[in-house]
Amino acid sequence: MYTSIEICAGAGGQALGLEMAGFSHIALVEYERDYCKCLEHNRPQWNVLCKDIHDFNGLPFRDKADLLAGGVPCPPFSVAGKQLGAEDERDLFPQMLRLVEEIHPRAVMIENVRGLLDAKFNGYRENILRQLSLSGYNPHIQLLNASDYGVPQLRPRVVIIGIRKDLDDTFLFPQKAQEPPRTVGETLYDLMAANGWKNATQWRKQANRIAPTLVGGSKKHGGPDLGPTRARAAWAELGIDGKGIANEAPAADFEGMPRLTPRMLARLQGFPDNWSFGQRKTTACRMIGNAFPPPVAMNVGLQIKQVLEHERTYHRSPETVSSRVAI
């Protein structure tokens, strides 16, 4: 089992995916109390530190973690925001880079929105990669689409990986799944039909594509809905009313376009059905919409684990040591 520390842990999407990949979490740092409660409820065994990342000292964890991961806040680079980048007070890349120095993990994993690749952020992005290199890591960066890893949703995300330079850098981003993801109709049919909705089968045929990118929003902005006008139009093509979120599946005699429930949103994000987000709908929707899909995190985590296992097998086995001495 390999160890990890995660910052900006949110509702646990990345942490869950890394757990599925074989990582044991030493600590998960999250600022918002609702998110902390979510993590603590779903994984009581996790060491959740509910605190501001600016107040988190990584030195006590130095050389104790194989991986430092984090989905730092995306508003500074999101097209849905003002794209202030480094001038945005929510930009936590400097804190991540500070913790890389303090914790000195064997690998680093950072997730952010596609906007980070925009030309206006070229200098900022290159500086992040340069700082990782100066800290002793070989950086890798790639845009990954969640739909390439079984998630029934159009969700592009930038993933930055750093492999410490004293390790053999054999890292490769995960290959795309051979099979396409299930459609929204296939993914949600049983939930839509839970109350005997008579039009569920017909709806499943209409919802014959993957979902648009789910949105979460912030405390100040973003209610329980599926996004702005353009996004709602895309949802309407799937037979879904994006103007709000429902408490339960449509009734048997329901007519018109149904709304999604938080559980449906979570499934579209790749969470297991037993992952709880609490009872407050607005908060739950924000947690789910801001999450990193667990299947994507798992696939990236498996690739990182291959690097660590290569290092452990090749450089630490007695046979290898003996052969090197003999040479």
**How many percent of the chain have pLDDT more than 90?**
79
Question: Is residue 215 scored above 90 in pLDDT?
Answer: no
Check pLDDT > 80 for residue 4. yes
Residue where the block lists tokens 């952020």: 121
Annotated active-site residue 74? The verdict is yes
Q: Which residues contact 218 (CB under 8 A, 6 or more apart)?
A: 75, 286
Nearest to 128 by CA among 100, 166, 94: 94
**Nearest to residue 302, comparing CAs of 174, 176, 163?**
174
CA pair distance 284, 38, nearest whole angstrom: 9
Are 112 and 81 within 8 A, CB to CB? Answer: no
Check whether 327 has a pLDDT greater than 60.
no
Give per-residue pLDDT as tens, 126-148: 999 999 999 999 999 999 999 99
> pLDDT band for position 73 (50/70/90)?
confident
* CATH of region 2-178+293-320, choose from 3.90.480.20, 3.30.1050.10, 3.40.50.800, 3.40.50.150: 3.40.50.150
Whether the predicted pLDDT of 77 surpasses 70: no
> How far does CA 55 lie from the centroid of its chain?
23
Residue with tokens 């099979």: 179
CB distance 215 to 78 below 8 Å: no
pLDDT at position 283, please? 92
Task: Select which of 8, 36, 38, 74 is catalytic.
Answer: 74
Q: How many CB atoms lie within 10 A of CB 89?
A: 9
Q: What is the mean pLDDT of residues 79-91?
A: 48
185, 206 Cβ separation under 8 angstroms: yes
* pLDDT tier for residue 321 given thresholds of 50, 70 and 90: very low
According to the model, what pLDDT value does residue 72 have?
A: 86
> Which residues of the chain are in CATH 3.40.50.150 domains?
2-178+293-320
> How many whole angstroms separate alpha carbon 34 and alpha carbon 280?
10
* pLDDT at position 13 over 60: yes
In tens, the pLDDT along 173-188 reads 999 999 999 999 999 9
- Residue 162's φ and ψ, nearest 5 degrees, are -120, 125
Which pLDDT value is given to residue 79? 45
Q: Is the dihedral of CA 106, 96, 158, 260 positive or negative?
A: positive
